[in-house]
Amino acid sequence: MDIWLPENVSTFGQGVDNLFILIYWITLIAFILVTATLIAFLILYRHRPGHKATYIEGSTKLEITWTTATTVIVFGLALLSYPQWNRIKSPTELPPADVVVEVSAKQFNWDMTYPGPDGEFDTEDDLQLENQLHVPVDKIVHIRLTSVDVIHSFFVPNLRLKQDTLPNRFITVWFEATKPGRFEIPCAELCGFQHSGMLGYLTVHSQADYDAWKAERWPPQ
Amino acid sequence: MNPTDIEITESRPLSNAKLAIFILLGAETMLFVGLIGAFLVFRMGSVTWPPISHAEINLPRLVTGINTILLIISGYTMFQALRAIQKDKIKQLRNMLIFTGVLGLLFLGIQGSEWIQLIGKGLTLQSGIYGGIFYVLIGCHALHVFGAVIWLAIVTGKAIRFKYSYTHHTGVETCTIYWIYVVALWPILYILVYLA
Amino acid sequence: MQDNENKSHENDNDEHHLPANGDNGTESHDHDHDHDHDHDHDHVHDHDHDHDHDHAHNHEESFISKYIFSLDHKMIGKQFLLYGLIMFFVGGGLALLFRWQLAYPERPVPIIGASQQYIDDGEVVTAADRMWEKIFDSDKEEWLEVNMPSGVIEPAFYNMLFTMHATIMVFFVVVPILVGAFGNFLIPLMIGTRDMAFPVLNMLSFWLAVLAAIIMTAGFFVPGGHAAAGWTGYAPLSADPQWTGVDWGQNLWAISLLIQGFSSLVGSINYITTVINMRAPGMTFFRLPLVIWSLFIVAILLLLAFPVLSSALALLIFDRLAGTTFFSSTAEGGGDPLLWQHLFWFFGHPEVYILILPGMGIASEILPVFSRKPIFGYHSMVYAMITIAFMGWIVWGHHMFQSGMQPGLGTFFMTTTMLIAVPSAIKTFNWLGTLFRGSIRFTTPMLHGIAFVSMFVIGGLSGIYMANTPVDIYIHDTYYIVAHIHYVVFGGSLFAIFGGIIYWFPKMYGRHMNDTLSKIHFWLTFIAFNCTFFPMHILGVGGHMRRISNPMQYEFLQGFQGINIFITMSAFTLGFAQLILLYNFFWSMARGKVAEKNPWNVTTLEWEAPTPVPHGNFAQIPTVYRGPYEYSVPGEESDWIPQAQPEHAPATGGD
């Protein structure tokens, strides 16, 4: 059984995973060092008859050392995260869209609205599907997220993408899938009694498949 | 009294009661920070204020302005009450306390009548966030004034029964601190809610 | 408020309500100074006994005034402890219920799941039916039908269970025990005073908390069920009954928390005043034990944070009952759902530090005592706590990275959050420094103290993942955060609580807790805790969402079911281990080994008071001559010098 991150299929996902793995190693090493020190101290300085504890009140030099070291590490991590975060979430760095889909969350479904052949929303040829998100591979997809009732959260584990949806507000997120396949879109924010089981599917098509799907589902009427 | 016990008493810059009131005011401030924060979030999040749905509503700025002055005067008279007892003038203490209480009640009365008029004009708790936050924020302050008036009434009652003296008047002090806090809070709310 | 004035005068003249101590003051004074540390057990014992005797004579308190509406800080502390422990079992029981559902979705809960036959016809088939028959009248079978048909936990009921588990654990267990119980019991004793500044307010604080707990528990039995919007109560889910179907449950939740807020307010006014004004002579701020520092800082945090929650709860109640739309943006002229999150977390993040700081304080008492060494870097420990308390106010947005808050704010909050890791790291290194070249005694409180440090390390390190905005995109709202919070609050706060209970038990009840049972409890808890919560990190990395009742509904989570079952089994073991604590607690209260005045050879003032501590605590208010951690001072014969021991006196105690 796989007990690590699920397969990543988005262009920015690797950046998230790299940061995750970096933090994993930093925290693992920190944990091992601290725990090893702790255990060593517990063994070395256990109470033995005749031995007395040494009176040490502290050490300013050490305090400064570990304060600086921790500050440097956490600041370094913060610096590494800025570009990744902005790339995924910043509205100013949003890459231009090849495909736009409107996703409206409601208790307990994802309503996916496609603009239809005219490329415009709120026109007659819009296509509405429940829980089925179809996108082409290697294309930049914009998802305009909203909700009709409470807060939900659009979560695609394989894309490393998560964004809460808010009623009466549109939030645009983007992704570019790197591999065709079918992936799950659970709701990640408690949204009511059937929150568990609120589930959509993302189907990433190869360009040819996508065109075929479009031809079938977006017939010019 | 043990000698050490005396030492503790004398090293305190503030008595327990006064200190407790100041600490309480810290919590009161945070309560209003929460409500004013909510007000500001709505205010900043709305293109126009009042929102278009309530564009016709005019808050009674002038009357409330006069009311503001009344409340500030009551703060002054309350302070005079404290000064009076510090100089051991019991009669002046009584008069000033009563005067302050009357001003406080007058403030509440005027505000109440304004509320009745506003409700008549259609601004209610249910009229969107504009009406909602208005009544909750102003009402929360009014409740504090009401509480302060009740406290003042108790203090006045004690003053009339000669319970305070030059040396023993912590009750007057704490009540003054609270009263002045409630008075000082009001102009901020007036400017935020009525003027700005 | 009005009687504050009178109260303060009373406190100025403490001996007025302490005739017993006044009478035999000189006598016990001699005892104290001549024989305090000479380990003359019998003698100390006699003295205590006499004292008690006199005490009882002069204080003819009725049962009600002594045990129920008590004004004595020690009794109120014990009341809070009992209250917290009772709620601990309620909250833990709820957790076990939903853990069953997670491991075996849609299967009847064993032992307590009533059969459908019983629910339909009232016909008793199983043992569980018999139990429900005893608890409920026949008309309450409807309750079972709604929540647990055929003994299976319904999704709506599941939501109530985890909502109440968290609410109870946070507001009715950890805070009441850490702040209510330890705060009340320890502050006057450790700063060397006779009682809290405002004993009546202190009693009020406890009884308000009881009222809040009753209202919170009652929510399960109102029509529509209990609050089901999570302990964070995110609006609009919590703001309008139509989204959850929960009507009065959510209202009672909000009202109960408002009352709990009043209780905390009253308590913290009391604590802050007491620490500032009533310290014994010589007890400067930098001679305060660290646990008192932590409780003092926490009182300030509670004082300033809870009113913000109260304001949010008031708005929520208006939304639910008066038709306002503060938190729903769907309505005409509606408000902002994110406002709730901002207000909640502006309170909520300081609240998280309220949950952990006293734990840090308790660990900082236990580690030096059983290492026989001063705490490493006392001043930096204090400044680290103050920094944490200050910075706790500017990190709340890290709960909201994926909420739709402006991403630029996310960057700001990530930076502040990363920085708050620094004082936490400083504290950890200082605890390690305390052990360095010590003489470590592995007593049960010490085991808990060490467990606290190591679990806090894991909880702290796992926090870095969530603080990092890009990584948080993935692990936000997964089991990773569940693992993190439990490592901090269970691994941290609860181990500190267990350690603190065992450590101060001799002073509280005059007896030791049974050490064998305590050790069994510790090891079972430590192992079961890690088996329960460590695998949750793995679930989180796999993307397992929190707050879902049935992971089997998702293809990508089906592979994790084995882990879920393992976690549930460990959770049941963990729950069972706590029964040992409960048994040990009550058994030792009556039958435990009788404790001496200062069984652990501790320097701080609470151990100067006789055991059991009489009304008024000290025969004579002690004078403090030094800091709280004078262990193994070079050139001294004894390895500990009590805070109250006069300067240049020949060393007395210790071995």
Q: How is chain A split into domains, by residue range?
A: 13-47+56-91, 99-217
How far, in Å, CA of C513 to CA of C594, rounded? 9
The encoded tokens of residue C36 equal 């305090």
Distance from the first to the final alpha carbon of chain B: 58
The encoded tokens of residue A54 equal 């040494």
Which helix (H) or strand (E) covers residue B113, if one does? Answer: helix B90-120
Give residue limits of the domains in chain C: 73-107+152-591
How far, in Å, CA of C129 to CA of C135, rounded? 10
CATH class of A99-217: mainly beta
Of A52, A160, A169, the CB nearest to C439: A52
| B79 and B176 Cβ atoms separated by less than 8 Å | yes
Residue ranges, chain C, pLDDT below 50:
1-58, 651-655
How far, in Å, CA of C361 to CA of C500, rounded? 10
Of C470, C541, C632, the CB nearest to A15: C470
| CA C37 to chain centroid | 33
How far, in Å, CA of C580 to CA of C416, rounded? 42
Which helix (H) or strand (E) covers residue C460, if one does? Answer: helix C444-467
Query: C-contacting residues of A 103-162, CB under 8 Å?
Result: 107, 148-151, 153, 155, 157, 160-162
The residues near A155 (Cβ < 8 Å, ≥ 6 apart) are A161, A162, A185, A186, A187, A188, C477, C543, C545
The encoded tokens of residue C642 equal 């009590």
Determine how β-strand A99-106 pairs with β-strand A140-147.
parallel
Q: How confident is the model at residue A67 (pLDDT cuts 50, 70, 90)?
A: very high
Please name the residue of chain A whose CA is at the shortest distance from the CA of residue C426: A67
- Domain B15-51+60-195 CATH (choose: 1.10.150.120, 1.20.120.80, 2.60.120.10, 3.40.50.300): 1.20.120.80
| B93 and B159 Cβ atoms separated by less than 8 Å | yes
Confirm or reject contact between C372 and chain A (CB < 8 A): yes
Which pLDDT value is given to residue C169? 96
Which pLDDT value is given to residue C45? 40
Query: C-contacting residues of B 130-149, CB under 8 Å?
Result: 130, 132-133, 136, 140
Burial profile C177-201: b = 16 or more Cβ within 10 angstroms, e = fewer: bbbbbbbbbbbbbbbbbbbbbbbbb
Backbone angles phi, psi at B151, to 5 degrees: -60, -45
* Peptide linkage before B51 cis (omega within 30 of 0): no
Which pLDDT value is given to residue C146? 86
Helices C444-467 and C495-509, interaxial angle, to 10°?
Answer: 150
From its phi and psi, is residue C404 left (phi > 0), alpha (psi between -120 and 50) or beta? left
Helix, coil or strand: residue C302: helix
Q: State pLDDT tens for residues B36-63.
A: 999 999 998 888 888 877 777 888 999 9
Residue contact C543–A6, C-beta within 8 A: yes
Between C39 and B193, name the one with better pLDDT.
B193
Residue contact C430–A58, C-beta within 8 A: yes
Residue contact C468–A77, C-beta within 8 A: yes
Which helix (H) or strand (E) covers residue B90, if one does? Answer: helix B90-120
**CATH superfamily ID and name for C73-107+152-591:** Cytochrome c oxidase-like, subunit I domain (1.20.210.10)
The residues near C61 (Cβ < 8 Å, ≥ 6 apart) are none
How far, in Å, CA of C123 to CA of C133, rounded? 9
pLDDT of A70 > 50? The answer is yes
Determine how β-strand A132-136 pairs with β-strand A199-205.
parallel
How far, in Å, CA of C82 to CA of C497, rounded? 13
Q: ipTM of this complex > 0.90? A: yes
Which pLDDT value is given to residue C60? 59
Give residue limits of the domains in chain B: 15-51+60-195
What does the mean pLDDT of chain B come to? 90
∠ CA C489-C494-C500, nearest 5°, is 140
For B10-77, give the secondary structure using H, E and C: HCCCCCHHHHHHHHHHHHHHHHHHHHHHHHHHHHHHCCCCCCHHHCCCCCCHHHHHHHHHHHHHHHHH
Min Cα distance A173 → chain C (Å) is 10
Which pLDDT value is given to residue C612? 86
Which pLDDT value is given to residue B23? 96
Query: C-contacting residues of A 10-49, CB under 8 Å?
Result: 15-16, 19-20, 23, 26-27, 30-31, 34-35, 37-38, 41-42, 45-48
The encoded tokens of residue C247 equal 């009507």
Backbone angles phi, psi at C115, to 5 degrees: -75, 155
| C600 and C259 Cβ atoms separated by less than 8 Å | no
Lowest mean pLDDT among A82-86, B147-151, C16-20, C73-77: C16-20
Helix, coil or strand: residue C632: coil
Please list every residue in chain C whose beta carbon sits closer than 8 Å to the beta carbon of residue A157.
474, 543, 556
DSSP state of C518: H
Of C265, C318, C343, the CB nearest to B34: C343
Burial of C366 (0-12, 13-18, 19+ CB in 10 A): buried
Please list every residue in chain A whose beta carbon sits closer than 8 Å to the beta carbon of residue C245.
193
Q: Over pLDDT 70: what percentage of chain B?
A: 94
Distances (CA, A) of B189 to A105, B41, C119, C501: 39, 15, 57, 47
Residue contact A45–C439, C-beta within 8 A: yes
How far, in Å, CA of B178 to CA of A57, rounded? 45
Residue type, C439: S
Please name the residue of chain C whose CA is at the shortest distance from the CA of residue B31: C307
How far, in Å, CA of C216 to CA of C227, rounded? 9
Which helix (H) or strand (E) covers residue A91, if one does? Answer: none
Determine how β-strand A109-114 pairs with β-strand A99-106.
antiparallel
* Peptide linkage before A108 cis (omega within 30 of 0): yes
The encoded tokens of residue B37 equal 């924060």
> How many other CB atoms are there within 10 angstroms of residue B16's CB atom?
27
The encoded tokens of residue C92 equal 């833990």
Burial profile C108-130: b = 16 or more Cβ within 10 angstroms, e = fewer: bbeebbbbbebbeeeebebebbe
Q: Which residues pair with A144 in a beta bridge?
A: A102, A172
The residues near A1 (Cβ < 8 Å, ≥ 6 apart) are C559, C560, C562
Confirm or reject contact between B163 and chain C (CB < 8 A): no
> How many other CB atoms are there within 10 angstroms of residue A160's CB atom?
27
Going across the sheet that includes A181-186, the strands are A132-136, A199-205, A181-186
Could you tell me how many residues make up chain C? 655
Residue located via tokens 């924010």: A189
How far, in Å, CA of B102 to CA of B108, rounded? 10
- Pick from A14, B65, A19, B179: which is nearest to C472 by CA? A19
Which pLDDT value is given to residue C59? 53
How far, in Å, CA of C332 to CA of C325, rounded? 9
Min Cα distance C622 → chain A (Å) is 25
